[in-house]
């Protein structure tokens, strides 16, 4: 399995970090998870391209996770691709219907399939996936791909999500702000470290990074390390991780 971090930024993107999106690839199967602003460009830079994306899995519906969804539809239509499947939590059909109401000319341009999923197990694009509800300001799902890869989506750090991720070779986890920012719906390094303490995870990558984290990576890692002694790194746009 190969996971490419297309966008590791947030609703306040920087020049180096676009909004959320990642590619999961394995044995000819390709899945795009989230589609924030800039992800259409990152797809081209990754060498995969929007032509190869026939399925999108959404964690939730905040703009920084869905802003390029309609541009992806249009790009695929213009490229002569005929279909797209969009899968996500409750409300995904309303989201897609609303986008197409605003941009009526895109209606019926693709064979568009929309499916809503709930916590539990399901299959998508040939992948077997487990979903777990996170703690965020909108309904949001974390996703786990066997014992290889778990993506937290947007969430506070809490024991249930840490349990869900335990045993994963790679965990990509929201860590939006340094410790001195008072925030809800996202973790700080200290809270994330406390919840990961004692968990068996191969490697943790931090993502959904606001500009507030720039220049403070070392102290954030030290804060996590005060509680969790595992391998923790910052995710970077266009980094690819191979998982056996």
CA dist., res. 96 & res. 149, Å (int): 27
Out of 64, 68, 154, 174, which one is annotated catalytic? 64
Distance CA 50, CA 29 (A): 14
Whether 64 sits among the annotated catalytic residues: the reply is: yes
User: And the tokens for 197?
Assistant: 């303490």
Tell me which residue has tokens 């995870």.
Answer: 201
Q: Which long-range contacts (CB under 8 A, 24 or more apart) does 158-165 make?
A: 158/195, 159/195, 160/132, 161/132, 161/134, 161/135, 161/195, 162/195, 162/196, 162/199, 163/199, 164/130, 164/132, 165/199, 165/201
Residues 6 or more apart in contact with residue 174 via CB below 8 angstroms: 152, 153, 154, 155, 186, 187, 206, 207, 208
At a CB cut-off of 8 Å and minimum separation 6, what does 30 contact? 23, 24, 48, 52, 53, 54, 55, 125
Active-site residue numbers? 64
């Amino acid at each position: 399995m190969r996971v490419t971090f297309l966008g590791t930024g947030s609703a306040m993107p920087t020049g180096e970090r676009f909004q959320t999106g990642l590619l999961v690839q394995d044995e000819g199967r390709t899945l795009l998870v989230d589609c924030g602003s800039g992800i259409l460009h990152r797809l081209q830079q990754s060498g995969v391209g929007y032509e190869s994306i026939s399925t999108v899995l959404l964690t939730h519906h905040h703009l920084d996770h869905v802003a390029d969804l309609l541009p992806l539809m249009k790009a695929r239509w213009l490229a002569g691709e005929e279909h797209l499947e969009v899968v996500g939590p409750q409300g995904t059909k309303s989201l897609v219907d609303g986008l197409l109401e605003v941009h009526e000319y895109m209606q019926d341009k693709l064979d568009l399939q929309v499916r809503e999923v709930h916590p539990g197990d399901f299959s998508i694009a040939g992948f077997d996936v487990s979903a777990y509800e996170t703690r965020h300001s909108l309904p949001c799902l974390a996703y786990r791909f066997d014992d290889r890869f778990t993506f937290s989506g947007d969430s506070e750090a809490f024991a249930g999500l840490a349990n869900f991720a335990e045993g994963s070779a790679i965990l990509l986890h929201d860590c939006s702000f340094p410790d001195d920012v008072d925030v809800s719906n996202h973790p700080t390094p200290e809270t994330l470290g406390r919840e990961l303490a004692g968990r068996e995870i191969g490697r943790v990558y931090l993502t959904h990074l606001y500009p507030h984290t720039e220049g403070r990576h070392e102290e954030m890692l030290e804060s996590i390390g005060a509680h969790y002694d595992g391998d923790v790194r910052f995710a970077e746009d266009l980094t690819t991780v191979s998982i056996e």
